[in-house]
Amino acid sequence: MRNRRPAASLIAASAVAALIPALAPTTATAADTAGAPRAATQQHFAQQKLDWKRCDPEAPATFQCATVRVPLDYDRPQGKKLDIAISRIKASAPDQRRGVLLLNPGGPGGAGLDMPVYMSEQLPKSVKSRYDLIGFDPRGVGQSAPVTCGLSYEEQVWERPYKAATFPSDVRWARTVAKKCAAGNGSKLPHLTTRNTARDMDAIRAALGEKKVSYLGYSYGTYLGAVYAQMFPARADRFVLDSAVDPQRIWRGMIQIWAEGAEPAFDRWTRWTAERNAKYALGKTPREVRGTFWKLVARADRDPIVIDGQKITGDDIRAGRAVFFSVREAAEAVVELKKAADSGKPRLARLPDILKPAAPPTFGRTAAAAAEDNGTASFWSVVCADTRNWPRDPETYRHDAIRNKAKYPLYGDFASNITPCAFWGKGSEPATKVNNRVPSLILQNEWDSQTPLPSGVGAHRAMKGSRMVTVAGGEGHGIYGSGSCADKTATTYLTTGKLPAKDLTCQAPEPKQQKSVRLPSPTAAPTTGR
């Protein structure tokens, strides 16, 4: 998952065998056990003729696009259909080609059609020579039957601190978003789930004429990969799951884990910053640094800090919790906020790079058409319909927000406050229980703000055939392709199929030398405090 915040001050930019093929046994839930309608669609997918064309005149000539036709409801294959937009860059060495490498950037709500282009800049030659790089927009996203809820910018704001006075308006907002999404998307909404996207992935596999697929998924894409491996274990070849989602915490728990992970990251930051008091002057001890920060928060709540024309409240500062996973950037951001507060005058802060996400290249067809709220709409569509464990009583959210703010002061109330899922209709089927033994490789930074280390450990525990590489001291969300110490292991696995004999830990360089893999800028749910 990716947190979804616009870049501003400390407001950090912090934002997946055929359909039950007869020869591919499944170890998933009873819902996967080969209903005849789903199995009957296999031959249709395999027989689809893909009309590959250059994606756009401005794109590289090697970058081709096509569509795969799939059922909206796999239990009713003769019913309404969706066109799933896919793309490819062919393997650079046909004589070495192993197959296809499907790519997903995360989300939910992340468009992946352009991934072959920017991943071809980051993946090593040995991987590109062996695989066709395959991108796709998941159902409901971008060019694949995009959803829209007709939401205003304000209605897309979803990181909301708990306050007794504003909780009734938060409940109204959540109910309004759910109502608009239901009204705007009709029968489509219950079927925009990870399980159905996994089925779409298998339709893509069949249409490409491949017996198996390899896969590289980031963030939410790790959950999508895990679900595919659960549903179609005989079709999963080499799977790399980068910055992993814990399948046991879908989905409210994965938002709450941001608060749980923020506290140790904040403690680490106070220690690191105290050791560099000569540079940052925020306190000589961790206790003093902590005091400086919370005084700043209280001060901003009383009198918002104005930076570049924006009013920054204490809640805004807390909402930027993701920055504390990167100690240097956090120290620089807090220093800038403190200077602005002390000056009492508007000033332009020097924004650390982590607060300015780089956008990947986009080309004509891949960038066009989807409504402005598509990222938000598709995010809620998956998060709410994937599971049936969202509480329905608003008072549950109130209670949890109060409790978790006391337990996790930085972000606990944000993570437990009410969402549109409280008022969402049921998805088409229950969530997937992930417990397969498909071989896979999990990559995890120790200090990842969006999928904190316990999340990666949970994914490793669920994926019983996996090995895990932990980057000790690693900061940032997204590893493979960044030049990390984990890259060599991932490349070896993708090119030879050899997993490490045991889990590995490697050491990250000093924070100033680290960089993150370039993933798409957040597309869903802009957020702000109050």
Residue 357 is predicted with a pLDDT of 39
Which are the contacts of 484, defined by CB distance < 8 A and separation ≥ 6?
443, 445, 471, 474, 506, 508
According to the model, what pLDDT value does residue 265 have? 98
The set of residues, in sequence order, having a beta carbon less than 8 Å from that of 343 and lying 6+ positions away, is none
- Render pLDDT for 357-382 as a digit per residue (tens, 0 to 9): 344 444 444 444 568 999 999 999 99
347 confidence band (pLDDT: 50, 70, 90): low
Amino acid at 5: R
> What percent of the residues of the chain are helix, what percent strand, and what percent coil, each to the nearest 5?
40, 15, 45
Average pLDDT over residues 98-103: 98
**Residue 17 pLDDT exceeds 80:** no
Determine how many CB atoms are found less than 10 A away from the CB of residue 12.
29
User: How much of the chain exceeds pLDDT 90, in percent?
Assistant: 77
pLDDT of residue 186: 82
* pLDDT in the model for residue 472: 98
What's residue 413's pLDDT?
98
In the predicted model, what is the mean pLDDT of residues 105-114? 95
CB 167 within 8 A of CB 359: no
Q: What is the pLDDT of residue 38?
A: 55
219 part of the active site: yes
- Please compute Rg for the chain using Cα positions: 23
State how beta strands 81-89 and 64-71 pair.
antiparallel
Is the torsion defined by CA of 145, 148, 149, 150 positive or negative?
A: negative
Average pLDDT over residues 430-450: 97
The per-residue pLDDT for 379 is 96
| pLDDT value, residue 517 | 54
Helix/strand/coil for 318: helix
Residue 354 pLDDT > 90, yes or no? no
Q: Find which of 41-45, 53-57, 311-315, 441-445 is predicted with most confidence, using mean pLDDT.
A: 441-445
Please report which confidence band the pLDDT of residue 311 belongs to, taking 50, 70 and 90 as the band edges.
Answer: confident
How many separate helices (H) and strands (E) can be counted in the chain? 19, 12
Are 140 and 188 spatial neighbours (Cβ–Cβ below 8 Å)?
yes
Share of residues in the chain with pLDDT > 70 (%): 83
Mean pLDDT of 152-169: 95
Q: Which whole number is the average pLDDT over 397-411?
A: 98
Structure tokens at 415: 């993570």
Active-site pick, 44, 191, 460, 477: 477
User: Is the pLDDT at 419 greater than 90, yes or no?
Assistant: yes
Q: Which pLDDT belongs to residue 203?
A: 96
What is the reported pLDDT for 509? Answer: 87
Q: How confident is the model at residue 526 (pLDDT cuts 50, 70, 90)?
A: very low
Across the chain, mean pLDDT equals 86
Cβ-contact 122, 234 below 8 angstroms? no
| pLDDT confidence of residue 351 | 41
The average pLDDT across 442-468 equals 98
Q: Which of 141-155, 298-312, 377-391 has the lowest mean pLDDT?
A: 298-312
Per annotation, catalytic residue among 114, 202, 316, 448: 448
As a whole number, mean pLDDT of residues 5-27 equals 27
Q: What is the pLDDT of residue 3?
A: 35
Residue 489: band (very low, low, confident or very high) from pLDDT cuts 50, 70, 90: very high
* 466 labelled catalytic: no
Peptide bond into 146 cis (omega under 30): no
Catalytic residue from among 219, 243, 326, 378:
219
Other beta carbons within 10 Å of 51: 9
Q: Which amino acid is at 200?
A: D
Beta bridge partners of 68: 84
Residue 440, H or E segment: strand 440-447
SS3 465: coil
Specify the pLDDT at position 41.
Answer: 57
For the entire predicted model, the pTM comes to 0.89
pLDDT digits (tens, 9 = 90+) for 247-270: 999 999 999 999 999 999 999 999
Q: How far apart are the first and last CA of the chain?
A: 23
Grade residue 30 by pLDDT with cuts at 50, 70 and 90: very low
Q: Look at 11-20, 215-224, 467-476 and tell me which has the smallest mean pLDDT.
A: 11-20
Least Cα distance to 102 among 255, 205, 9 occurs for: 205
- The verdict on whether 477 is a catalytic residue reads yes
Nearby residues of 395 by Cβ (< 8 Å), 6 or more positions away: none
pLDDT score of 19 more than 90: no
186 CB neighbour count, 10 Å cutoff: 8
pLDDT at residue 369 in the model: 52
Average pLDDT (449-474) is 97
The band of 344, judged by pLDDT with boundaries at 50, 70 and 90, is: confident
